[in-house]
Amino acid sequence: LVRQAAATATEMNAKFLATVDDVFNYGSRAEYEGGLNDWIGFPTDRDPVEEMYREHCVYEYARVQTLFTRNYGITTTPEGEFKGVAGQWTPKNRSWDSIPGYKLPGETVNCRPEHMRGFEGIPQLMKAPSAVRAGLTEPEVLAARLWSGPM
């Protein structure tokens, strides 16, 4: 897997598109049985935050792949979403401090002002009652926030 080119977000998303005959197509049976590890490989457990950083900010598709969500009208990138939650974090600067003046791309449809996205970094999210009850680590909170975002 190290030698093969990373799939684009569009290629990964194509696996979950419905066909015109109203039958959902989730790929082949072999893809289903192979699971996520066959599709994208095993995670790097040494430093999961650094791997999430690479996935969202370093790999070629992270900066050039623009994603649009029809449900909220958000145009964003993996890099933009990472910066929105991880702030200034890089492998050399392991700070969760927000980036001065940085704003997440806002919703343009289907969202009331009180539900608009805002910056809540890892330190704030770690204090959420649900994160405290579950005993989540910073990498787990970051992964949950990135997974629940618009991408």
Higher pLDDT residue, 38 or 57?
57
Which residue in the block uniquely carries the two structure tokens 């970094």?
121
One-letter identity of residue 102? Y
pLDDT digit string, tens, across residues 59-83? 887 777 888 877 778 888 889 889 9
The values of phi and psi at residue 132, to 5°, are -65, -45
Query: Given this model, what pLDDT does residue 1 score?
Result: 44
- Which of 70, 47, 77, 72 has the alpha carbon at shortest distance from 142? 47
Length of the chain: 151
At residue 66, the pLDDT reads 85
- Single out the residue of 29, 33, 27 nearest to residue 13, CA to CA: 27
Q: Give the pLDDT confidence of 73-118 residue by residue, as tens digits.
A: 888 888 988 998 899 999 999 999 988 988 877 777 766 776 676 6
